[in-house]
Amino acid sequence: MPIAIALHGGAGTIIRSEMSPEQEARYRSALQEALHIGFYILQQNGSALDAVEATVRHLEDCPLFNAGKGSVFTAEGTHEMDASIMDGRNLSAGAIASVKGVKNPVSLARMVMEHSGHVFLAGEGALAFARKMQCDPADEAYFFDQFRYEQWQAIRHTDRFQLDHTVKPKDSLGTVGAAACDQQGHVAAATSTGGMTNKRWGRIGDSPVIGSGTYANNRTCAVSCTGSGEYFLRGVVAYDVSCLMEYKNYRLEEACREVVHTRLTALGGDGGLVAVDGQGQMSLVFNTEGMYRACKDTEGETVDIYR
């Protein structure tokens, strides 16, 4: 069975002329490193679930992206992270939201799936579970980034919030995610984010919501989304791709394009997704100027940023 993995690091107004060669090289290197980590697991007959978790963990550890270490500041000057993971073999899923002080939120989401008896934990309850599972902690200093701090300071005393993919590319950091197919034809997906700069009231986007930001089903595909979360929530975007394949017999690419370029656009939403089906076919689709993305199968690999 063909193996394949696709990942993203955020979508938005990403224009080549506004990106320095050094910045572009850093992004491409980070994407490629994460890609190779996930693909190596698949090559060694590892599961799609292990591959997407390891890939997203690596992106969470990279300060270039708005997840884990690179998470943005909330209105209170803290970091609240969301993540989810789903196994296409049996539709098992785990998700966490509004979590602080956890180094790798995607791994906590997997622990929720495998050890809690639940699907979705949030806030203090999720942190209590993390402590019980001895999930790797990280203090506030670990998440501090000078650029992130300045980004927050610019809008902290206003009612504004900021989605990373709406700012200039040199400042652009985004939700991360991956989808994969292993040698047994099983698929899985995972997504992780720090949300939006200056977010208030415990705002949660689509990333931890099964069916909106993440979905995986062996009968169809695995999907991880990035973009304006409120629109992905309303459009139930990840599940919508799967539904078109399951009930309308769409091919993967056809379903992804229908959802991102027609249905999401009709709602006024911008962003993109990466998806992989059980035959190892991949689709990386977005309706913005660019999306940090990479994919690899036995035929080769691609790492790209721009449209």
49: part of which helix (H) or strand (E)?
helix 48-60
Task: Write the burial class of residue 192 (CB in 10 Å: 0-12 exposed, 13-18 middle, 19+ buried).
Answer: buried
- CA–CA gap between residue 163 and residue 197 (Å, rounded): 7
| Tokens of residue 211, six digits | 């069916």
The single residue of 175, 191, 220, 288 carrying the catalytic annotation is 175
Let me know: does 131 contact 164? Beta carbons within 8 Å. no
| Tokens of residue 206, six digits | 């689509």
Q: Is the dihedral of CA 148, 153, 156, 159 positive or negative?
A: negative
Which residues on neighbouring strands pair with residue 112, listed in sequence order? none
Q: Give the Cα-Cα-Cα angle 4, 187, 87 (nearest 5 degrees).
A: 145
Residues in the chain: 307
- Catalytic residue flag (residue 78): no
Q: Is the dihedral of CA 126, 127, 131, 136 positive or negative?
A: positive
Nearest by Cα to 114 from 128, 93, 135, 96: 93
- CA–CA gap between residue 247 and residue 43 (Å, rounded): 32
Q: Is the dihedral of CA 47, 209, 267, 225 positive or negative?
A: negative
- CA–CA gap between residue 67 and residue 161 (Å, rounded): 17
Going from the C-alpha of 18 to that of each of 13, 15, 31, 240, the distances in angstroms are: 10, 6, 19, 34
- Maximum separation of any 2 CA atoms in the chain, in Å: 54
Q: Which residues are catalytic?
A: 175
